[in-house]
Amino acid sequence: MAVTEEEIRCAASSKESEKPMSKDVDRSTSDDDDEVTAEGNGPSTALDLTDDWIEDHMKDVTVAVIGNVDSGKSTLVGVLTKGGLDDGRGQARAKVFNFSHEAANGRTSSIAQEIMGFAPGGDQVLIERMATTTANSRNTTWQQVVSQSERLVTFSDLCGHEKYLKTTIFGLVGQCPDYTMIIVNANAGFQRMSREHLGIALALSIPFFIVVTKIDIAPQNVYEENLAQLHKIVKSNAVKRQPLVVKEEAQMQAAASGIYNKEVCPIFCVSNVTGDGLPLLRCFLRCLPSRLQDSGLFKPPSCPAEFHIDSIYVVPGVGLVVGGVVRAGRIRPGQQLLLGPDKVSQFKPVLIKTIQYKRVNVDSAESGQHCSFALRSLVKRETLKKSMFRKGMVLLSPETQPRAIWSFKAEARASS
């Protein structure tokens, strides 16, 4: 666990702005010495001294997709992001899965991410339909969607099986979603794992809405019984929300503002095969307001940099790459940060070589963004290896003077 010697001060300090780095510089394959400022904080500009969030210019809402196994989570994500309908035999979900064994058994065992973008006019940006998906084609698609969109919705498709509950909890905690989309099978109703997921979302104070799928194959009496069950659960003392079944676009404003204020639980009834209800769901997703600045999970861009690592990769031609979320500050290529705590509770200096956001090379990353960094060690004759990393490691600004501790005192409260 990393702590600072003194409380991080978020007030902007007066500094002379330096000349920003050229956007054309690519350090992904270079071992040359990169430019580092005397203070070890990389190139800075006047923008660093303000709380001018990038979020104010490019709206990006993160939605975690949860629900019981076989409820249609991955299928719905595939239909929403690829712009086509499912064939009823798993065509759409196959475009979302990360691994071949997931496609073979139809069950998600990892965290899959997909994006959908909306142009300034409100129309969805559709680049790829139900074609064969490869790593290179996915990178190209994401780049085109990001470049053409004014608003983005990022889906984190989480696991529904009880066996992978730990992975689902990690996605809800580590990914810091703005909202959760609970998927319910119209035939099966609100099952046990869906109740577990709802309880976790409530404990984390994440607003949620419900999508009832497979309405095209559910008998009318079963569908109505399960819908009545949802109303009862949403209005219960444990949840305390007002259910709102969205049937027309006139209800969008009430649904969006109600879920943001945690007063209303919008309910959508859709079919991934026939397309019923999907236009309303897309419209709702486009209207969702970002909770970045109000969630309390992120500090302003003017604070010292803080990056939580949740994944490590070794990319050929690039080297070691870490992925995660920026919890505070603004980070640029050429900036020096401290990596740790390692196995001996030490923090070591590293250099940010390049940054990718939504699979696109960018010149900076700021608080609230999920991104990846290519790193290079600044310790003489040391090369970063995947084996050096462990859970809980972070990247911190040198000015925070972090140190590792083995124990701390805490007061825990159990809520009924």
- Residue 51's pLDDT is 60
CB atoms within 10 A of CB 243: 17
Average pLDDT (232-251) is: 95
Q: In this model, does residue 28 exceed pLDDT 60?
A: no
Q: Residue 388: which residues within 8 A CB-CB, separation 6 or more? A: 342
With residue 61 as reference, give the H or E element that holds it: strand 59-67
β-pair partners for 136: none
**Tokens read off for 238:** 């444990």
- Residue 131's pLDDT is 55
Domains of the chain: 2-53+298-404 (2.40.30.10), 58-287 (3.40.50.300)
Looking at the chain, how many residues does it have? 416
**Axis-axis angle for helices 278-287, 252-260 (nearest 10):** 50
CA proximity to 80, closest of 145, 17, 20:
145
Distance CA(318)–CA(193), nearest Å, equals: 40
Distance CA(181)–CA(65), nearest Å, equals: 5
* Mean pLDDT computed over every residue of the chain: 84
Task: Count the helix, strand and coil residues of the chain and give each as a percent rounded to the nearest 5.
Answer: 25, 25, 50
Angle at 46 between CA 54 and CA 34, to 5 degrees: 90
SS3 409: coil
Amino acid sitting at position 301: P
Which residue intervals of 235-347 are DSSP H helices?
Answer: 252-260, 278-287
Q: Strand 179-185 vs strand 59-67: parallel, antiparallel, or unpaired?
A: parallel
SS3 268: strand
Distance CA(250)–CA(12), nearest Å, equals: 43
Average pLDDT (176-195) is: 95
Backbone angles phi, psi at 232, to 5 degrees: -65, -40
The C-alpha R_g of the chain, in whole angstroms, comes to 22
Identify the DSSP state of 90: S
CA proximity to 10, closest of 337, 355, 397:
397
Distance CA(212)–CA(187), nearest Å, equals: 9
Rounded alpha-carbon distances, angstroms, from residue 350 to 82, 257, 314, 315, 320 = 38, 43, 16, 17, 11
Q: In this model, does residue 18 exceed pLDDT 60?
A: no
**Which of 30-39, 89-98, 198-207, 309-318 is predicted least confidently?**
30-39
User: What is the pTM for the complete model shown?
Assistant: 0.82
Stronger pLDDT, 16 or 169, i.e. the higher one: 169
pLDDT band at 136 (very low <50, low <70, confident <90, very high): confident
Average pLDDT (225-247) is: 96
CA proximity to 34, closest of 371, 320, 333:
333
- Residue 140's pLDDT is 85
Average pLDDT (140-161) is: 91
pLDDT in tens, 362-405: 999 999 999 999 999 999 989 999 999 988 899 999 999 998 88
Distance CA(358)–CA(368), nearest Å, equals: 13
| CA end-to-end distance (rounded Å), the chain | 29
SS3 250: helix
Distance CA(146)–CA(63), nearest Å, equals: 17
Long-range contacts of 230-238 (CB under 8 A, 24+ apart): 230/184, 230/189, 230/190, 230/267, 233/190, 233/198, 234/210, 234/265, 234/267, 238/202
Average pLDDT (327-346) is: 94
Distance CA(382)–CA(362), nearest Å, equals: 27
Whole-number percent of the chain with pLDDT over 70: 83
